[in-house]
Amino acid sequence: MKTWEMETPQGDHVRLSWNESATFNLQTGIGGQWVDYHCFTVYGIDSALEALSVGYDAMIELEGETT
């Protein structure tokens, strides 16, 4: 499992987790716990850097839908 913490364009702190295969979870902190708010699957990821890029792009797209 790989995880990255980042800030959204709106300033929210989120965590991206990737199971090193195909499953991603975007998480937010609630009461001291990381809680999933969006899960998605992308096949064919070859590296952690590619996974981070895919996850970041998904977060940006999702944030754009909610504003």
* pLDDT tens digits in sequence order for the chain, 67 residues long: 999 999 988 888 999 999 999 999 999 999 999 999 999 999 999 999 999 999 999 999 988 865 5
Task: Look at residue 64 in the predicted model and tell me its pLDDT.
Answer: 80
Type and span of the H or E element at 26: strand 23-30
The domain in which residue 23 lies consists of: 2-66
Task: Look at residue 67 in the predicted model and tell me its pLDDT.
Answer: 52
CA distance to 2, 8, 39, 40, 46, per residue, from 11 (Å): 22, 5, 21, 22, 29
Task: Look at residue 8 in the predicted model and tell me its pLDDT.
Answer: 87
Residue 45: which region, alpha, beta or left (left: phi > 0; alpha: psi -120 to 50)? Answer: beta
Task: Look at residue 66 in the predicted model and tell me its pLDDT.
Answer: 59
- First-to-final CA distance of the chain: 30
